[in-house]
Structure 1
């Protein structure tokens, strides 16, 4: 059986070689005259030297910004002296009235108010 396989493999190689087409072309070396002229002109070009004052009118002259001034602090000593010299104002009895319209009677009255049992509100359905 191996001889049959060897013969078929050899036959397929021969068929594959005969199917390959080879093309042999000779390329004609043509010179591109326009490209050669362009490259020759590029190599021979020399930029004209720039004048030393060419930047005048295009670039502004540099001027450093002005230095900022230090902030001035108010005279705190005179303000503190004026504050110390003022008399504190005393609260009047109208200022002492609580938000519920009851006069403030001290801490004990407030604690008694907090500890007082309030009647639960009846739910209206």
Structure 2
């Protein structure tokens, strides 16, 4: 064996390889932990909530609905009145539909559906 190989073999035997990390002192971590342990929370005053919290007052109790005293006369008065109907303006049919007599008929609707759809002209 050569002298170089023998020296490297001996160096490897002497050097112990380990996978565990060397424990080093972490100064920043030590300072941080020391400050955390020394921290004292400030004492809050007992009346600190005054002004930030409103006092609660319960709402007043609702009054129950009262039944009418003369229910029979009110019902007869309601039955006697005529309902008012709103007069809606009627849509006037086109003159062509009036001439054919197909205003609102099923045949007019089917004829409308069967009409060809007008093609859109391309504008250049």
Tell me the TM-score normalised to structure 1 length. 0.41
TM-score w.r.t. length of structure 2: 0.41
Bigger radius of gyration: 1
